[in-house]
Copies of this chain bind each other. A is one copy, B any other.
Amino acid sequence: MPKKKLLQADYILAWDNAPEIISQGEIVIEDSLITYIGPRLERREKDFEEIIKGRDNLIMPGFINTHTHAAMSLFRGYADDMALMDWLNNKIWPAEAKLRKEDIYWGTMLAIAEMLRGGTTCFADMYFHMDEAARACLESGIRASLAQGLTGLDKIKGMAGLKEGSSLVRNWHNKGDGRITVMLGPHAPYTCPPDYLQKVLEKAADLDVPIHIHLAETRAEVKECLSKYGKTPVELMEEIGLLDHRVLAAHCVHLTEKEIEILAEKETAIAHNPGSNLKLGSGTAPVAKLLEKGVPVGLGTDSAASNNNLDMLEEMRLAALLPKGLLENPTVVPAETALKMATINGADALFLSNEVGILKKGAKADLIMFNLNQPHFYPRHNILAHLVYSARSADINLVMVNGTVLMSDGELLTIDEERVFFEAQLRATRLVY
């Protein structure tokens, strides 16, 4: 007999082709899967090991954070309002050089605690010592797509990294009841020359995993790429054949019309990080145009070192608001589109379409519940708009991943937060000393 759970709420945001709010609905979960979603039926309480009733609550799919470096939470607030290269050269890189394996575990755990509280049920991560990140995901119960960050400027380091990245795939891909998946993570065109990217690509094809890469983040990157290779970053990636593989490209801030066409044609998934792009002064990505061309754009927070939080509601709001202001057109990226970016598109971007980011029969039970009994949810003219333009992450009172409740009534059930805060503080202090 599978373990069955019953969730009832005044509102359930279902989504097949279009968003639909089910009033007085319910969801049945068996093990990790949704087996029923719809109006309430007659049920026998004893058939369920757990029944959750959300009066004046709304259930929706959990958010999917398509780009972060979780363990960098240890650097939150360490260095802000600085020019990018000054920030990297004089602050981040010296501190990163002191990172130990266990720091990654605790930094990732801190990030997971924050993400779960903010309704993120799945994230794409790229960093070092990723065995430790995987361990944090396994223990906390969150879903993640992990990648070892690879750089190929130094040949020996490049090959060692590729070996490490490959063992991450072999050791962790599809582990944790399928919650953990793995990609290969060549850092960026400017740290991974074409011949190295070729090797990564071959390995990714061989292991049958996607690739997670930073692309066209800053104006300086594009300039360097043009002067070195006579091509823009996206053109270079196309030439190498990278875009014929499943690729998650983070940022894509500075794109030509031609590059947008290429990304659309190749169906390259994009992680849009509006908060981090603003904060680092990188610029603003042409999101409305990418969406218009059908490019699958998900949302990411980037790391807490450059954001400085991991709040997907904030990214969703920025994704909806920024293009309106920049294009002086309030009709672009409407609420529904922004909500889709944070959920369905995120699943597409992580190559988990139909499994997560959506509530329907047969999908994984990755969901969150909002307490609507708050001033900013009144009046109830349009709940979908409220979720995008008014909701706050602290309104989330229940988080479930893979059928398991990870947060309930503001309490994390799988993470000892006090311990995490203590370890994070201790280690962060050492790193920046």
A interface with B by C-beta (< 8 Å) = 73-78, 80-84, 87, 110-111, 113-114, 117, 219, 275, 277-284, 304, 307-311, 314, 317, 321-322, 324-331, 334-335, 373-376, 378-383, 385-386, 389-390, 392-395, 417, 420-421, 424-425, 428-429, 432
Contacts and interface: CB of A to CB of B under 8 A. Distances in A.
12 contacts: A76-B378, A76-B386, A77-B380, A77-B382, A114-B375, A280-B330, A281-B331, A282-B325, A284-B326, A375-B420, A378-B428, A380-B425
A78 B330 contact: no
Q: In the A-B complex, list the 4 residue pairs whose CB atoms are closest, starting with the nearest.
A: A394-B394, A278-B325, A379-B428, A281-B330
A40 to B, nearest CB: 23
A76 B393 contact: no
Q: Considering residues A310, A325, A425, which has the most beta carbons from chain B within 10 angstroms of its beta carbon?
A: A325
B278 A309 contact: no
Given A76-B390, A280-B324, 7 more contacts: A77-B389, A78-B379, A278-B325, A281-B328, A281-B331, A314-B314, A394-B395
A322 B328 CA distance: 15
Contact of A389 (B307, B378, B380): B307
Given A321-B278, A325-B284, A381 B428 contact: yes
A324 B389 contact: no
Count of chain copies? 2
Contacts of A281: 324-325, 327-331
A131 to B, nearest CB: 22
A331 B279 CA distance: 9
Given A281-B327, A429-B379, A386 B77 contact: yes
A421 B380 CA distance: 10
A13 to B, nearest CB: 15
A376 B76 CA distance: 8
A308 to B, nearest CB: 4
A424 B308 contact: no
Contacts of A87: 330
Contact of A308 (B73, B374, B390, B417): B390
A279 B327 CA distance: 11
B389 A309 contact: yes
Contacts of A81: 324, 330-331, 334-335, 385
A385 B425 contact: no
Contacts of A385: 77, 80-81, 308
Contacts of A80: 334-335, 382, 385, 389
Residue picked from A82, A278, A283, A386, most chain B C-beta under 10 Å: A278
Contacts of A282: 325, 328
Contact of A330 (B75, B279, B322, B392): B279
B275 A321 contact: yes
Nearest to A393: B392
